[in-house]
Amino acid sequence: MTSETDTEQGCYTEHGVSGYGVAAKLTRKDPMDTAFLKKTAEQTMQLIARKCMDAGARCIGHIKSHIKTEAGTIKADTIGVDHGTFSTGELDHAVTEAAMAINSIIQGIKEDVVRKATLDGLHEVAQDQGLDVVKEKEHTYFDEFDFVTSKQEYIKQLNEQLAAGDPSDTREK
């Protein structure tokens, strides 16, 4: 395979695997409890997977999210539309603000298509659930959102990251 062919694929590996990551700050006037956030995360994972498959993906490598709040963490993931979703975590109490990091690893479609499916899935579910997506920040590596620190320190770091730089709306205008 030549580098020209690799460039034409638009995928970051020779196996045609593309990835996209985004962190978003979500707010809602009505408090969100564990069940609400699990449902939201699971619906988001499934919609992203469906959008990727509809766009021509050969398979879903893994789509996962972490929702961090002052009251706890919810994690959700899927490996494809036919495989359903799985979520874990609990909140100590309902919250009105959350930080959600999503990573989508997909085979067979270009990174910009994975990006669009991920952002569209996030925004569609947020709208359906009455959530405002206050800010988004793209990221490359999920690990920077998946480290072992206290909840308070994680939220502080994520808020600092979201506040850094220009206000970003990653959606195309």
Residue 4 lies in a domain: no
Side-by-side strand order, sheet with 95-107: 86-91, 72-78, 59-69, 95-107, 17-32, 132-139
- Element (H or E) spanning 32, and its range? strand 17-32
Query: Which residues are registered as beta bridge partners of 21?
Result: 103, 139
pTM for this one?
0.76
Say if strands 59-69 and 95-107 run parallel, antiparallel, or are unpaired: antiparallel
Domain region containing 147: 13-162
Residue 31 lies in a domain: yes
Output DSSP code: residue 57: -
Contact residues for 14 (Cβ-Cβ < 8 A; gap 6+) = 1, 6
Round the average pLDDT of the chain to a whole number and report it: 83
* Over residues 14-30, mean pLDDT: 89
Contact residues for 95 (Cβ-Cβ < 8 A; gap 6+) = 31, 32, 69, 70, 71
Residue 100 lies in a domain: yes
Q: Give the model's pLDDT for residue 9.
A: 45
Q: Give the model's pLDDT for residue 146.
A: 45
- The predicted-structure confidence for 117-147, as pLDDT tens digits, reads as follows 999 999 999 999 999 999 888 865 444 444 4
- Give the SS3 label for residue 83: helix
Residue 172 lies in a domain: no
- Give the SS3 label for residue 11: coil
- The predicted-structure confidence for 76-114, as pLDDT tens digits, reads as follows 999 988 888 999 999 999 999 999 999 999 999 998 999
Residue 51 lies in a domain: yes
| Position 167 pLDDT exceeds 90 | no
Residue 167 lies in a domain: no
What is the tally of structural domains in the chain? 1
CATH assignment at residue 127:
3.30.70.360
Residue 169 lies in a domain: no
Q: Give the model's pLDDT for residue 135.
A: 87
